Amino acid sequence: MPEDEPPHGTILTNARIVTPDGVHHGDLHIADGKITTAAAGDEIDLAGRYVVPGFVDMHVHGGAGASYQRPDRARRAASFHLAHGTTTTMASLVTGDERELADAVTGLADLAADGVIAGIHLEGPYLSRDRCGAHDPALLRAPDLAEFRRLVRLGRGHVRMITLAPELPGALDLVREAAGSGVIAAVGHTEAAGDTVRAAFAAGARVATHLFNAMRPLHHREGGPVAAALNDPRVTVELINDGVHVEPAVARLAFAAAGPRVALITDAMAAAGMGDGDYRLGVMDVQVRGGRATLAGGTAIAGSTITMADAFRRAVTAVGLPIEDAVRAASLTPARALGVADRCGSLEPGKDADLAVLDGDLRVLQVMKQGTIVPRARILGDN
């Protein structure tokens, strides 16, 4: 190929391209799986449809009837979310005993090495019994550096984040250990007061796990984890934007306080995409009724049943965000939190061609992963 001739690829023409600074009508050039400044090749006329970066979900437990707790079923969950626009996904694990977590981390590390998932998130087991949510309180325990180091070793570099309650004995030492080993420490499932949470952030914690949920609530005389996270410019705050965990008015408050630091997440469990029924989340029985997942026989919320496409669309239609701000929260902010914004999270030359095409109602029509169109038949994944 002559040096002055553009590479052969694909051109998405007549598109509404959503970037962090607004919506631009034009063409998007793709070659060799990357976004480029110019390319020759097949043209696809999008007739004015939106193109957004692929969604990045940093907190998700499963979907399509499959749980990341079962690595042998994890491909099905990842394929389901990919077909709905999530081109970068973490695999979140709930609390388990030492053997269960070790086996899950070992299996998921293989999938991370294959690029099926972006990494492993340990949500527990070092959580507060008072704020355990859908975690089995009998399996919760104090932070254990030896166990954590063993899990990191089994993860072969793919354990990317751990959520813990900073008030537990030894928690700040584990935060420092995590930060020193390249694992993101996240504060969540906590009854801690604001001073303790701020100490965790000072020690290196950089994420607040599903803000407002499973943590001491905001109070005007003791702001607790919510105020500590919203006021710290170093901290990314997760938000489950399903209308169940957080109402739109509260979501608007979070965006008003920490806009560029708010990362939409799904916290989706196996029921996502499957409808009402009875499911499992770790060792806990979960019932889904009307799309709402709760522990069987109780009222505690047990994750969500949404996709990131749902969370993104609700950010625009229910919360009232401009589309570019919703895209940032669903893509670029979580990509930055995970340290992968150099390759995904926005539609910029040099980054992977991970994107979704949306109709005027912001529903996903097509997904592209590294320049390859994802067949819609994969919507229910493969085993």
Strands 22-31 and 86-93: unpaired
CA torsion through residues 306, 152, 340, 368, sign: negative
| Geometric angle at alpha carbon 223, from 237 and 242, rounded to 5° | 40
Counts of helices then strands in the chain (DSSP H, E): 10, 21
- Identify the sign of the CA torsion 84, 134, 191, 143: negative
Q: Which residues 6+ apart lie within 8 Å of 129 measured at CB?
A: 137, 140
Number of alpha carbons in the 13 Å side-chain half-sphere of residue 356: 29
SS3 content of the chain, % helix, strand, coil (to 5): 30, 30, 40
Closest CA to 301 of 312, 290, 318, 288: 288
Helix (H, G, I), strand (E, B) or coil at 371: coil
Q: Are 6 and 13 a contacting pair, CB within 8 Å?
A: no
Helix (H) or strand (E) holding 185: strand 184-187
Report strand pairing: 8-19 vs 40-45: parallel
Q: Which residues participate in catalysis according to the annotation?
A: 267
Q: DSSP class of residue 375?
A: P
336: its two tokens: 């930055």
